[in-house]
Amino acid sequence: MRLLFEIDTKDYDIYGERFVRPSVRSIIIREGKVAMVYSKKYDYYKFPGGGIESNESQIEALVRETFEEAGLIIIPSSIREYGYVHRIQKGEVEAIFIQDNYYYLCDVESTVLSQQLDDYEAEEEFTLVDIDPITAIITNREKPHGPKNQNMLEREALVLEMLVKEGLLK
């Protein structure tokens, strides 16, 4: 899978304890808009997805996380690689947080089911929205988001910009 870009804040102790948490993200384009999860509490957009558990593949995690966060059922035969983002920054607990975020283009069934949100996701009032990419980019970059990590929000904005530049979104 191609490296889309790297975010390295260089704000960490290079000899410190490392926490590695790979994740997957679904890129679902419908009628010129992109399906994203919106946090009503902190006013930001993210691609559906999350951490890969130790007993699952990237694709299994993609299907599970997209269903849990967005209530969407991915059509397995539609999944295709887009790229990944390598992120390194000072961790909240550990000295270094390292995350590879694997992005996949995919289609979903038309039926939307109930989300299966974690406690923090429910508290943030995660909501599935189909949104034009420019609105999501501007919101993630220009509005206050409380304690949310700006690097994560910038990562999503940069991926959206790449999708627009490559003609996948307008």
Q: What pLDDT digit, counting tens, does each position of 22-81 carry?
A: 999 999 999 999 999 999 999 999 999 999 999 999 999 999 999 999 999 999 999 999
- Which of 76, 20, 44 lies closest to 151 in space, CA to CA? 44
Residue 53 lies in a domain: yes
100 is in which domain, residue-wise?
3-165
Model confidence pTM above 0.85: yes
pLDDT for position 34 = 98
| pLDDT surpassing 90 at residue 92 | no
Residue 84 Cα distances to 87, 115, 139, 166, angstroms: 10, 25, 22, 15
Residue 116 lies in a domain: yes
Q: Which residue matches tokens 């289609």?
A: 107
Q: What whole-number distance in Å separates Cα of residue 94 and Cα of residue 75?
A: 37
Number of domains composing the chain: 1
| pLDDT surpassing 80 at residue 17 | yes
What pLDDT digit, counting tens, does each position of 127-169 carry? 999 999 999 999 999 998 888 888 999 999 999 999 999 999 9
Residue 55 Cα distances to 22, 48, 59, 95, angstroms: 13, 20, 12, 26
The widest CA-to-CA distance across the chain, in whole angstroms, is: 48
Higher pLDDT, 44 or 14: 44
CATH number of the CATH domain containing 121? 3.90.79.10
| pLDDT surpassing 90 at residue 14 | no
The whole-angstrom distance between residue 142's C-alpha and the CA centroid of its chain comes to 18
| pLDDT surpassing 80 at residue 94 | no
Residue 127 lies in a domain: yes
pLDDT for position 133 = 97
Q: Hey, what are 102's tokens?
A: 């694997």
- Which of 31, 78, 24, 26 lies closest to 47 in space, CA to CA? 26
Q: Is 148 helix (H, G, I), strand (E, B) or coil?
A: coil
